[in-house]
Structure 1
Amino acid sequence: MASAYAAHAAALGEPGTIDVRQVRRWESVKPGWPNTGARKVLRAMFGLPLEQLGFLPPHRERTGIPDQAEEGGVRRRSFLQGVLSAAHLLGPAGQDQLVAALAQARRYSDHSLAGHLRAALDAAARADGNTGPRQALPAAMEILAVVEHLACDASPSVRRELLAVGARAAEFTAWLHRDAGAPAHVTVFFHDRAVEWATVTGDGPMHAYVLLRKAQATDRHDALRMLDLAHAAAHGPWNLPPRAQAEALQQEARALALTGAPPDAVARTLDRAHQALDRAGEAEPASCTGPLCGGYTRDRLMAQSAISHREAGQPGRAVDLLQRHLADGTFAPRDRAFFTAHLSGALAAAGEPEQAAAIGMSALRLAAAPGFGQALGELRRTAAQLRSHARRPAVRELRQALTALTV
């Protein structure tokens, strides 16, 4: 904010800069009234009257209790902080659209706004796949804030588009919170918001997709709930695209394995997942806003199938599949870290502690810096499996590295 202010002031030929303390004062409940030069700069930055930014002229009396307009101003200031931090994802055209939308939201009916938000959401998803959830989470949260703010005043058709983007953003935000290690109720909150907006917009497949993601977020020790959610996603009253259907059936297979179903029942469900994928057209680049699971590939299905075999007590089969498809397949850094961590666990279950620890260190090097939480969780599970081999040098190295990372 201070840097943006300085740039606008220089462009306007106004002297002076502001520091962080001044920004915080303006963001407070009692922001004061800026001086003449600052008022000029702020109007140029936001394209809004200062009163709409929450500032009150000096002649306006204050009671001890904020009135409705004052509370609205505080909310707007908080929202605008978020817009500033997310706007770089939208590009110059998208930023102009946001300014116009905020200035006259009640009359705004430009459908291109949803397109700018979709582009920003896809950029955040790419950041997550490469650099981890903590890098992508602020932008995802601000996209949600933009949707929620503008949907209140948009025309019905634009509101519908905004809420459709919002459903995707809420589901993605739930994933980011989960991977970043947030408490379970935080993930549940954003999943519920995604379901709400998918239902409001009549998007049945998106509703099913959120159920799938909820199943994937369910703890493996709550296998019956995971099975209920995955089964509902795969067999509910909606037509999932074939790739999404394949992933839902794969998740159902994993849940069956965790409930103790016979391996042949798990294998039959995985066969149905492969049949669904066979019906799909050409795979598309992975996208947070494109066709559901449009980038779901056979390599990914095989790697996830290996996890089901591991859960079904067939670690040797899991090791074979994971080794083959990690060598040949193309995965984002986050996914490669996750599947490599599962390979480490499958090797541990197959009685190969030294190799498990070595592969575990490879996964740790992929997952530690970006903070890929699901991969790190699997590595901790593997370390627990290897406790009886703790004196082996490779196992000791892995356990010590995980302990140091936790500290």
Structure 2
Amino acid sequence: MSQRPGNTLFVAARLQRGWHSQADVAAAYERHAAALGESASITVRQVRRWESPAPGWPNTIARRVLRAMFGVPLEDLGFVPLRPAQQQLDDTSVVVGAGPDRDPGKGPARRGTFPGGVLAGAAPLLDASALDHLAAAVASARRYTDHHLVAHLRAALDEAARTDGRTGPRQALPAALGILGAIDEIARDASSAVRRDLLAVGARAAEFTAWLHRDAGAPPHTTVFFHDRAIEWATLSGDGPMHAYVLLRKAQATERDDAARMRDLAHAAVHGPWALPPRARAEALQQQARAMALTGTAPDLVSLTLDQAHDALDQAAPAEPATCTGPLCAGYNHDRLMAQSAICHREAGQPERAVVLLRQHLSGGAFAPRDRAFFTAHLAGALAAAGEPDEAAATGLSALQLAAAPHFGQALGELRRTVAVLRPYARRAAVRELRQALTVLPG
């Protein structure tokens, strides 16, 4: 069988310019990159790949350097452009680990950087401007030194959380990923004391990024990756309570059809070798109660665990405004615990009790827009389970008004679950309206 010819266009172009070996191309690449202000280099192996029958499509930095080197469109060098969606995924790989150790034809290769596949999972949620924001974050962070850098990253993370609360996860993702990229890149060369502080902030940022991906509808493995990174960094920075808190968040991210895992994670968060702050302990106990309900535990035992959550909350200092970098679960309060308790009762087959609690605490509690949308969606589901289809649909439309524009994914997921429960009432006008509104919602 004859061997496929290589990329003869690339070979001819470099010979025409006097680069007689692949090493000559690599040296020329580094010179042109430096002239463009890029600290980038390639290996002979990369040149060999570009001269192969399948040269791929270079990433953003490589495309810029190659155009400067050859002065012709990349298509004239034998490269085949990607489709727009693929292009967006490919460009994301320049965010983390850009530098002389990176191979421009592939994703990040340095040990410890985010794998290209994981960052690529976020790319469909980001536009070109957001990707530029990502690439600039590492350079911006390098303007700060030592503990000023830590303070800068803390402030940036809190601002990203505020953005999420105002406009939803997709708008906050670029900043969160940029913060993670900066920490991942800079911590390698930081002194021991500063590295520990950086990783402590990184644990918070990784957990927040996991949440954003989950709420934005990314694949579960992406959320798992960032949760695992949060646990790793919390452990390395000696932050036991944060380790436990991430276990709680992993429990919350577990699907309802794996309630045993949800229960085990929540139980580990409560009973592991760490001391969760009272508010975080209360939320973890509540999550354990929900998992118990999903696994068929008797309602009185579910209620007993919820009582333990209330006891933990009663031991807490006064609530504070919630931030990404402040005390864990600082804003967790009685109204939120009661709304989550209602969800437990719904899972335990007591939707009428859930309806009463949710109505009471949604009317009196001061919930952020995302939380109000989420709990209102659960109220719609409880009403549907209680046999009140019209009221469930009307309540669902109210939740949709809150969740649609910022695309609060957890609320939207609950509304789709409600529509499934309402399937026997599909011909009713209110139910049909809710279903159609969800159907036309942009993905």
How would you bin the TM-score normalised by the shorter chain?
A: 0.7 to 0.9
2:143 matches 1:100 = yes
**Cα distance in 1 between the residues matched to 2:46 and 2:274:** 54
Partner of 2:32: 33
- Sequence identity of aligned pairs in percent? 67
Q: Work out whether 1:280 is the aligned partner of 2:316.
A: yes
Q: Deviations over 1:283-322 (max 9, x none)?
A: 1101111011011111111110110011011111111111
Separation in 2, partners of 1:362, 1:232: 36
CA contact (8 A) 1:250 1:304 kept: yes
Corresponding residue to 2:325 among 271, 284, 289: 289
Cα distance change on mapping 1:206 and 1:62 into 2, 3 Å: closer
Contact 1:129 1:335 in 2 (8 A): no
Q: Distance in 2 between matches of 1:249 and 1:186?
A: 26
In the alignment, the residues of structure 2 paired with residue 405 and residue 185 of structure 1 have an alpha-carbon distance, to the nearest angstrom, of: 25
2:153 is aligned to 117
User: What secondary structure sits across from 1:358 in the alignment?
Assistant: helix
Matched, 1:143 2:179: yes
Given that 1:285 and 1:294 are in contact with CA atoms closer than 8 Å, whether structure 2 keeps it comes out as yes
* Superposition map of 1:315-330 within 5 A: 315-330=351-366
1:64 aligns with 2:47: yes
Where does residue 366 of structure 1 map in the other structure? 402
Q: What is the CA deviation profile of residues 12-68 of structure 1, one whole-angstrom value per residue up to 9, with x for unaligned ones?
A: xxxxxxxxxxxxxxxxx9587389xxx6xx8xxxxxxx36x3389xxxx999369x9
Q: Output the TM-score relative to the length of structure 2.
A: 0.73
Q: Which letter maps to 1:333?
A: P
Alignment partner for residue 40 of structure 2, among 54, 69, 74?
A: 54
Partners of 1:231 and 1:174 in 2: CA distance: 21
Alignment of 1:5-404 (within 5 A): 33=32, 50=37, 53-54=39-40, 64=47, 70-72=100-102, 85=133, 95=140, 98-100=141-143, 110-404=146-440
Tell whether the 8 Å contact from 2:41 to 2:99 is kept in structure 1 after alignment. Answer: no
Task: Indicate the SS of the match to 2:257.
Answer: coil
Return closer, same or farther for 1:62/1:364 CA change in 2, 3 Å cut-off.
closer
Unaligned runs of 5+ in 2: 1-27, 50-97, 115-128
Distance 1:87 1:285, change over 3 A: farther
Is the CA contact (8 Å cut-off) linking 2:137 and 2:182 kept in structure 1? Answer: no
Shift of residue 71, structure 1, vs aligned partner: 3.6
Number of positions where the alignment pairs a residue of Structure 1 with one of Structure 2: 348
Report which stretch shifted further, 129-138 or 158-167.
Answer: 129-138
1:130, 1:332 within 8 Å by CA — same for their partners in 2?
Answer: no
Letter of the 1:33 counterpart = H
In structure 2, do the counterparts of structure 1 residues 243 and 69 end up closer, same or farther at CA, with 3 Å as the change threshold? closer
1:83-109: CA deviations, max 9, x gaps?
Answer: 96169999xxx95xx3435xxxxxx5x
Partners of 2:306 and 2:341 within 8 A in 1: yes
Q: Distance in 2 between matches of 1:192 and 1:69?
A: 25
Q: C-alpha distance in 2, partners of 1:125/1:305? A: 25
Q: 2:244 is matched by which residue type in structure 1?
A: A
Are the counterparts in 1 of residues 131 and 174 from structure 2 also a CA contact under 8 Å?
Answer: no
In structure 1, the gaps of 5 or more residues are 1-28, 43-49, 102-107
Deviation string 1:301-346 (CA, Å, 9 cap, x unpaired) is 1110110011011111111111111111111111111000000000
Alpha-carbon deviation of 1:389? 0.6
How far is the alpha carbon of 1:156 from its aligned partner?
A: 0.4
The letter of the residue matching 1:285 is: P
| Cα separation, partners in 2 of 1:208 and 1:359, compared to 1, 3 Å | same
Q: Which residue of 2 aligns with 1:7?
A: none
Which portions of structure 1, spanning 4 or more consecutive aligned residues, are displaced by more than 2 angstroms? 29-35, 53-56, 61-66, 68-76, 81-84, 86-90, 98-101
**Distance in 2 of aligned mates of 1:211 and 1:182:** 19
Residues 200 and 342 of structure 1: CA distance in aligned 2, closer, same or farther (over 3 Å):
same
Instruction: Please tell me the residue identity of whatever aligns with 1:225.
Output: R
